Amino acid sequence: MIICRSCCSEKNVHAVCPTSQGSESKKRSKMEIDRSIKEAFQSIKDAGEAIDTLIFVYSGHHDDRGFQLLGNDQDVWSDHDLCRQIEELHNVKRVIAFLDCCYPKKLAVDCGLTKKCVQFCSSETEYKTFGTAFTKFLIQAFTRKAKDIRCLNVEKTHAEKECVSCKGFNSDIITFEKLAIYLERHMRKHWEESIYQLNPSSSFHDSAWVIGFNMRFDANVLFKINGKESSIKKDITQVNTIEELKKDFLKELFEGKYVLVYG
């Protein structure tokens, strides 16, 4: 289970695992996992700032009673518990839940007027999920280009690293709509079945919601003017490509001082 806020720097990511991390890995108790989950959500509540997007990822067992945190029937974290935790995040604007599990339920989150919530599931509610292809495709969507790795749907013997669906996913910025299409097409090719998209928030209508970047290089913006560091904030939802974002930065920084020539 991964709970993170964008941007997904290490300090903003909370991973809750069924085993302890370290040289001697051993199974954790349900009490320990419950505490880790509560601490992760509490850290978001205590952030002291408005958070644009919270991402919740679960990959594991699930049945009618909820998430099987340790892979057995005795250690269950209910869907209701997750909904309650999300509802209590009053400083979070949007929530995306990715559920890679069997029999995923619609998260009955009361979003109110200020929060938007949407979920992606690896299968429909009445079906089982086999393997972790959904999670792999989700990771692949954000990292395949940067790492220059082969798509999971492409045979190792092929010279091409991209499948047909990958080639239609080449823009710099990843929106909700583009990610939905990407996951849908890749899962259809892999398992011949669709992903399940659920939207418990009636206020969600923005298919152009920016989720992240489809980067092929490191992006570091640092301005030093006369020896002093400066920063400029930009709303990336107003641009379609990284090149447009660069031009906007340059225009704001130098407009009225220099003639800008884009080449």
- Does position 242 have pLDDT exceeding 70, yes or no? no
Closest by CA position to 122, among listed 101, 95, 151, 152: 101
CB within 8 Å of 137: residues ≥ 6 apart:
152, 182, 183, 186, 187, 190
Residue with tokens 């690293």: 161
- Does position 76 have pLDDT exceeding 80, yes or no? yes
- Maximum Cα interatomic distance, the chain, rounded to a whole number of Å: 68
Distance of alpha carbon 148 from its chain centroid, rounded? 20
Rounded mean pLDDT, 209-235: 62
Closest by CA position to 104, among listed 124, 85, 86, 83: 124
68: β partners: 61, 76
Task: Please classify residue 7 by burial: count the beta carbons closer than 10 Å to its beta carbon, then call 0-12 exposed, 13-18 middle and 19+ buried.
Answer: exposed
Rounded mean pLDDT, 182-195: 78
**Beta pairing, strands 210-213 & 173-175:** antiparallel
Instruction: Name, of 23-27, 65-69, 214-218, 226-230, the range with top average pLDDT.
Output: 65-69
Task: Tell me the C-alpha distance between 197 and 166, whole Å.
Answer: 20
Torsion, Cα of 174, 42, 11, 57 (10° steps): -40
- Does position 169 have pLDDT exceeding 70, yes or no? yes
Measured from the Cβ of residue 242, the count of other Cβ atoms closer than 10 Å reads 18
Rounded mean pLDDT, 200-209: 51
Tokens read off for 61: 């067992």
The answer to whether 100 and 47 are in contact (CB under 8 A) is no
- State the DSSP H helix or E strand holding residue 139, giving kind and residue range, or none if neither: helix 133-147
On the CB side of 180, how many CA atoms lie within 13 Å of its CA?
A: 17
Rounded mean pLDDT, 39-44: 91
- Does position 201 have pLDDT exceeding 50, yes or no? no
Tokens read off for 52: 């644009």
On the CB side of 242, how many CA atoms lie within 13 Å of its CA?
A: 15
